[in-house]
Structure 1
Amino acid sequence: MIKDQEYLKSKASYCLELAKKLGATDASVTVGNSISETVSFRNKALDESNRSDSLAISIETYIDKKKSSISSSNLLEENLKTLIKKCYETTKITPEDEYNSLPDKNLLAKNIKDLNLYDESHLENDKKIDYLKELEETASIDKKIINTESGFTENKSNFILVNSDGFCDGYKSSSFTASSVTVAKDENSMERDYEFTSRCHLDDIVKAKELGEIAANQTIKKLSPKKIGSDKISIIFDKRISKGFLSSFAGAISSSAIARGTSFLKDKIDKQVFSDSISIIDKPDLIKGMGSQCFDSEGVKSETLNLVNNGILTSYLIDTYNGKKLNLRSNGRSGGSTNLYFENGKLSFEELLKTNSKCLYVTETIGHGTNLVTGDYSVGATGFLVENGEFKYPVNEITIAGNFNDMFKNITLANDLEFKYSVNSPTMMIHGMTVAGK
């Protein structure tokens, strides 16, 4: 059973009061409890079943502009006393940093909205096993599938955040995640692909049969790939790949990267960084959203941000500490983006495929070839050659490269946005990318 708010609040309040008694000028305490249950299958047989129960506390103490932190999974009173004393003593000998402080009081969240992030439902282990059996049976129907792996994870969590400026709140959240990985083989090659589903509520996850079918079909389509020559060509990125560009963008506009000067987007506020057809939103209050939150990890209220408006960068993702370095107010993004997405484009998926007589459709990238300091991008990739809007054959052993400064201005989006993850994108085309092949 997940710990309730009263239990978590009592532990946090105890630590806060003790830190103040010792002499801390300010303090912040977070207490969280998380319970996770996972069942996994391999080749239609039960592989593993486990359960974890995590209870942890994190304490920050301030003495004017000095700050230190400490954490533990032992919430017994004697240990908490020792922790807080150690944290306070460490703070006394820590050098001052003029940017250390709690968030401004007027930025703290006050009216907490119910975003329906918690599902009381519990799927017993035997039901998880039944789900995975059906998934694996479906994924294995075609004889070309020679190996399957699947998993089902149920997670329930609750937390409370308190600080010496009077903030005290938290909420429950849940997630149900199922995945399917399949390996296919024919006389020419062996290929691997996957599919997964993750939702706050059990009833919203993809059915086992559908998940298995998608994973198997995607894998079989990749068999017998061909090699292509080097070229400069338009590339269409599948939605599960295109969302990765948004993740890179979020990293580049984090206030920590901007304050350090380690982002290719520094000094780009109010400047054109995408084509004028592109807008990017970060929306924390989506009902049942996988990245939804009422406030960030500091207690600052999170409101919708129009990060890019008609191609123009309008805001960074700002926390308290780095915001002060930049002389900017926190916008509730300590911990990063929430539900980040490109707004839909105007073309249908089919129209996007037909935009060029020949292009590449990328379904998987290999490696971590993203440099957020320079904007350089280079990764291995696999996918399909598309001619006149039709998928011709799978391709592999290619490298695609470019620079975000150019790539962002050459994006065309389809109108097939779905909110499956905390970062979401429609299918994306980037014109004129470099492809290195055989």
Structure 2
Amino acid sequence: MTQAFDAASQQALLESRVQAALEQAQRLGADACEVGASVDQGIEVSVRLGEVESVELSRDQGIAVTVYVGQRKGSASSSDAGEASVRSAVEQAMSIARYTGEDPAAGLAPPELMAREIPDLDVHHPWRLSTDEAIELALDCENAGRRVSGISNSDGANLSSGEGVRVYGNSHGFLGSQCGSRHSLSCMLIAEDASGMQRDYDYTSERDPRRLARAEDIGVLAAERALRRLGARRPITGRFPVMFDPALASGLVGHLMSAIAGGALYRQASFLCDRLGEPLFPEWFSLGEKPRERGAMASAPFDNDGVYTRDNVFIDQGRLASYMLSAYSARRLGMETTGNAGGARNIRLQAPLTPRQELLAKMPRGVLVTELMGQGVNGVTGDYSRGAAGFWVENGEILYPVEEFTIAGSLQAMFAGLVGVGDDIDTRGSIHSGSWLIDEMTVAGS
């Protein structure tokens, strides 16, 4: 059984370590300081073909210190949050700051933007799971899938459960903390017939283990997904509509968020530089974040600068309404922070949702993409080219699986050519989205 994790005592301990580091930095002559500390504990179990492959019990901790001497910055970190390590990290950060060049944008976020309230966002749900119970769940998942006719092999099932504490403090007097948990179960299976072998997977992931999908259902869905891919062939080459499965549509949202991130913008490494206010999507499409949504996967009351989080709208009726900025990137751009140090939290779409079958009906000929391969996305130019697998669609009907083809276009054209968003919303991650139908892309197959 995993060792009990006393979140309250760990939180109190880390807060005392952070406060001690801030006081030491002040004594050593820092004009400002910020400190982040964390501790995580979890269990991960992997099984394959009915046997236990691995059991890992983990406990990780760390502390990161950043000091500012004038506009010189020094940072140091340690994987040990003990008192001696904390003192050493502060001393090293101070030493580094004396040798770095001045950066006019360096410094803490404005004190008036610090989070004044730290609400309970319902993100901490411990799972008192013994090792034997974890193994049993993973085996139940895999065995359910292996019992499906046509499944010949398995890449295994994996169960992961963890919880942790995060603390951040700075010399404005801000000290905030949050406890959180994350649990998941996945399975990947291999189907085989005369045409060859295919693999696919399914998974479930939640803050609260009571909301996880049944282990047996995950195994069966993984088996069904693998079986549907048997007999895959290469599609013809041409310009066709392309529909992205929900998990892959979330990836397209991720590319958008990377392009509006402050770090990419001030480096002039984004195809969306200087595009505020311009139309990117159809007018019916909006997108924003809800960082204080209760129980959600990425909820947090403050960002990595200690700035209070708030609902932000990034795409408003098709137009780019806001960038995603930390205090540092905002200064580099001559703008104000949006409370996004550490990224966006809980991306939500606002768009009319179309039943999946109705989206398919808009495709006289095209592909439904269920898997992407490779890293062919250029954030500077927006060029997009990925290896893909999925299904060939004609007159709204899925005819057969396809593989070994490439889809290509540009993110600008793909966003502008969004035809509809499906009602098959995938809520397993921090980005909630249904399928996306893009009007036209280049499909390179046979």
Whether TM-score is above 0.5 comes out as yes
Who is 2:129 aligned against? 123
Partner SS state of residue 300, structure 2 = coil
The answer to whether the 8 A contact 1:343-1:417 is kept is no
Structure 1 range deviating more: 78-87 or 326-335: 78-87
| Cα 1:257–1:292 shift into 2, 3 Å | same
How many angstroms apart in 2 are the aligned matches of 1:346 and 1:76? Answer: 51
| Deviation, structure 1 residue 132 | 1.2
Aligned-residue offset at 1:114: 1.3
TM-score, structure 1 as length reference: 0.98
Between the aligned partners of 1:373 and 1:262, the Cα distance in structure 2 is 5
Select 1:424's aligned residue among 427, 432, 438: 432
Shift of 1:46: 0.8
Question: What is the letter of the counterpart of residue 236 of structure 1?
Answer: M
Residue 189 of structure 2 is aligned to residue 182 of structure 1: yes
- Does the CA-based 8 Å contact 1:144-1:220 persist in structure 2? yes
Q: Deviations over 1:56-106 (max 9, x none)?
A: 111111111011110112333333323222211221221110000100011
Question: Is 1:277 the equivalent of 2:287?
Answer: no
2:26 is equivalent to residue 20 of structure 1:
yes
Find the aligned partners of 1:123 and 1:142 in 2 and give their Cα distance: 28
Identify the residue that residue 258 of structure 1 maps to in structure 2: 265
Residues 247, 426 of structure 2: 8 Å contact kept: no
CA separation in 1, counterparts of 2:326 and 2:431? Answer: 19
- Give secondary structure in 2 for the equivalent of 1:98: coil
* Equivalent residue, structure 1, for 2:355: 348
Q: Secondary structure at the match of 1:117?
A: coil
1:361 pairs with one of 344, 368, 375:
368
In the alignment, structure 1 residue 33 sits paired with structure 2 residue 69: no
Say what the alpha-carbon RMSD is for the aligned residues.
1.2
In 1, the alpha carbon distance for the partners of 2:426 and 2:197 equals 31
**Native 8 Å contact 2:114 2:306 kept in 1:** yes
In structure 1, what is the equivalent of residue 178 of structure 2?
171
8 Å contact kept, 1:246–1:341 = no
Q: Deviations over 1:289-340 (max 9, x none)?
A: 1111111111111111111011100001100111001111111111111111
Q: Relative to structure 1, is the Cα distance of residues 89 and 427 closer, same or farther in structure 2, using a 3 angstrom cutoff?
A: same
Question: What CA distance in whole angstroms lies between the structure 2 residues aligned with 1:83 and 1:114?
Answer: 31
* Structure 1: gaps (5+ residues): none
Mapped to 1, the partners of 2:54 and 2:314 lie a distance apart of 43
Deviations 1:192-238 (A, max 9, x none): 11111110011011110110111000000000112221011101111
Report the CA distance between 1:150 and its aligned residue. Answer: 0.7
Q: Tell me the alpha carbon deviations over residues 163-212 of structure 1, each in whole angstroms, 9 at most, x when there is no partner.
A: 10010011100011111111111111211111111100110111101101
Q: Is contact 1:301–1:331 with CA below 8 Å preserved after alignment? A: no
Provide closer, same or farther for how the CA distance between residues 83 and 414 of structure 1 changes in structure 2, counting only shifts above 3 A.
closer
Aligned: 1:237 with 2:236: no
CA distance in structure 1 between the partners assigned to 2:394 and 2:350 by the alignment: 27
Separation (CA, whole Å) in 2 of partners of 1:288 and 1:380: 35
Q: Identify the residue that residue 296 of structure 1 maps to in structure 2.
A: 303
Whether the 8 Å contact between 1:344 and 1:417 is mirrored in structure 2 is no
- Asked if the contact 1:344/1:426 (under 8 Å) is kept, the reply is no
- Spell out, residue by residue over 1:4-24, the C-alpha distance to the aligned partner (whole angstroms, 9 max, x if none): 221111111111101100100
Shift of 1:373: 0.4
For residues 75 and 424 of structure 1, the distance between their equivalents in structure 2, rounded to whole angstroms, comes to 35
Q: Which amino acid aligns with 2:114?
A: L
AA paired with 1:51? L
The answer as to 2:393 corresponding to 1:414 is no
Amino acid at match of 2:241: S
Q: Which moved more, 1:143-152 or 1:59-68?
A: 143-152
**SS of the residue 2:354 aligns to:** coil
CA drift at 1:281: 1.4
Alpha-carbon distance, 1:282 to partner: 1.2
For 1:214, what is the secondary structure of its paired residue?
A: helix
State the distance in 2 between where 1:337 and 1:112 align: 18
* TM-aligned CA deviation for residue 418 of structure 1: 3.9
Question: 3-state DSSP class of the match of 1:286?
Answer: coil
2:72 corresponding residue in structure 1: 66
Moved more, 273-282 or 375-384: 273-282
Q: How far apart in 2 are the matches of 1:197 and 1:46?
A: 20
Structure-2 residue corresponding to 1:101: 107
Does 1:434 pair with 2:442? yes
**Identity value in percent:** 30
Retained in 2: the 8 A contact 1:233–1:432?
A: yes
Name which of 213, 235, 247 aligns with 1:206: 213
SS at match of 2:310: coil
Write the distance in 2 (CA, Å) between the matches of 1:277 and 1:37.
44
Is 343-352 or 306-315 further displaced after alignment? 343-352
Task: Tell me how far apart the structure 2 counterparts of residues 175 and 129 of structure 1 sit (CA, whole Å).
Answer: 17
Distance 2:327 2:84 in 1: 32
TM-score using structure 2 length: 0.96
- Consecutive unaligned residues in structure 2, runs of 5 or more: none
User: Against the structure 1 CA distance between its residues 90 and 227, is the aligned structure 2 distance closer, same or farther, given a 3 Å change threshold?
Assistant: closer
SS at match of 2:308: coil
Partner Cα separation in structure 2 for residue 79 and residue 394 of structure 1:
55
- Tell me by how many angstroms 1:366 deviates: 1.0
For residues 382 and 171 of structure 1, the distance between their equivalents in structure 2, rounded to whole angstroms, comes to: 40
Is 2:383 the partner of 1:376?
Answer: yes
- Alignment partners' CA distance in 1, 2:140 and 2:88: 51
Match of 2:338 in 1: 331
- Partners of 1:384 and 1:78 in 2: CA distance: 58
Paired residue for 2:12? 6
CA distance in 2, matches of 1:66, 1:50: 41
